[in-house]
Amino acid sequence: MSEFMQVLISGLATGSIYALAAIGFTLLWQASQTINFAQGEFVMLQAFFVLIGMHVLGLALLPAIALALVVSVVLLGMVFKRVIIQPMLPHGVLPIVMATIGLAILMREMVKEFYSAEAQPFPSMFSESTFNVLGATVSYQDVGNLIVSAIAIVALQLFLGRTRTGRCMQATAQNPAVAEILGVNIQRMVLYTFMINAALATIASVLISPIYLAKFSIGEPIGLVAFLAAIVGGFNQVRGALAGGLLIGVIDNMSAAYLSSEYRIAGPMILLIVIILLRPQGLLGTSEGRTV
């Protein structure tokens, strides 16, 4: 029982981080039909922004994270949208897919070239001490990860549902033509979405890097899992990506613990196939209309 609880809690904690990256996927898809295959590398790169802030500029952890957040929103939000996505958007989904795959390779190789191919230790924002719940040892780090992810997701939902800008973003996602007629600045709304995605990637990076270590190649598995989570949960729903992320995190850990660690990736893959067969729109996805 305690082992089950242990695996469940660890699964939820990592799952919540996957959810952040998965939500970014759904946001970009909703706003601009962009499937960002560099999503995992976005998460990977932020860790190096933080490390540069700490080791090159000599900042403490929190200011370095703040700096990484700003750099990320500018570079991976605004510049990414303006320079890569915007010129390609009129040509359909496929050129964007190719461009983001290319961008992912570029990011990996740049980190390898300029930082090093070796893993780097990454400091945790939370204490690594532990406490007991129902026989399971829970670390403050796991709880902290869950809470920060939850706050980020709730704040995002409130922003989208309760603010004028958020509603304009929803309108843009649902029907760009009508939204434009009603006076919504569509390009600006899409830009906001990209900036939010970059911010979410920074949060995911800061939470996951202490566990996974900062390394150029770590984006690949994160990107894959986030993509799976977004599809399983429903590509057109933020809450779907959240559910997908948590589910994949738990199933990944459960299959490693109770089936075999050699087949751990098989668990989420089987889930993916079952979902695609039985509910192609995803667990919480809707088959018509799009909402942010």
Partner 1 sequence: MIRNFALAALVAAGLGATAASAETIKLGNVAELSGSGATVGKAWTDAITMGVEEINAAGGVLGNQLELSSYDSQTDAQTSRALVQKAIDDGAFLILGTVYSGSTIVNMLVTQQQGIPQIVGSEAPAITQKGNPFIFRSSFGAHKSMPKIADYLKNGLGVSKVAVSWVNNEFGKGGHDAFVKEVTDRGIEVVADVSSEVAQADFAADVAKLKGSGAEAIFVYLHEEESARILRELNKQGVDVPIVGETTLLNQKVVELAGEAANGIMGHVGLTVDAPNPEIQEFGKRFSEKYGYKADHNAMKGYVAIYAAKTAIERAGELDRQKVADTLHSMTVKVSEVPNILLDVSWDETGEVSRESFLVEIQDGKSVVKDTLPAN
Residues of this chain that bind partner 1 (CB under 8 A): 2-3, 6-7, 10-11, 13-14, 112, 116-121, 128, 130, 137, 139, 141-142, 210-213, 215, 217-218, 221, 252-254, 256-257, 261-262, 264
Complex with partner 1: residue 137 or 163, whichever CB lies closer: 137
Which value, in Å, is the radius of gyration of the alpha carbons in the chain?
Answer: 19
| Mutual angle of helices 140-162 and 238-254, in 10-degree steps | 160
| Mutual angle of helices 93-114 and 39-55, in 10-degree steps | 30
Complex with partner 1: residue 105 or 154, whichever CB lies closer: 105
Residues 54 and 287: their CA atoms lie apart, in Å, by 46
**Closest separation in Å from C-beta 41 to partner 1:** 15
**Closest separation in Å from C-beta 205 to partner 1:** 13
Complex with partner 1: residue 234 or 268, whichever CB lies closer: 268
Complex with partner 1: residue 19 or 73, whichever CB lies closer: 19
Tell me, rounded to whole angstroms, the distance of Cα 118 from its chain centroid: 23
Complex with partner 1: residue 119 or 186, whichever CB lies closer: 119
- Which residues are registered as beta bridge partners of 137? 132
**Closest separation in Å from C-beta 202 to partner 1:** 19
φ, ψ at 130 (rounded to 5°): -130, 165
Q: CA triplet 84, 16, 215: central angle to 5 degrees?
A: 55
**Closest separation in Å from C-beta 111 to partner 1:** 11
Complex with partner 1: residue 85 or 251, whichever CB lies closer: 251
Complex with partner 1: residue 236 or 255, whichever CB lies closer: 255
**Closest separation in Å from C-beta 213 to partner 1:** 6
The encoded tokens of residue 8 equal 């469940």
**Closest separation in Å from C-beta 143 to partner 1:** 11
**Closest separation in Å from C-beta 125 to partner 1:** 14
The encoded tokens of residue 258 equal 């109770």
Task: Print burial letters for 21-49: b (CB count within 10 Å at least 16), e (below 16).
Answer: bbbbbbbbbbbbebbbbbbbbbbbbbbbb
Residues 44 and 71: their CA atoms lie apart, in Å, by 14
Provide the 3-class DSSP secondary structure of residue 182.
coil
Residues 71 and 80: their CA atoms lie apart, in Å, by 12
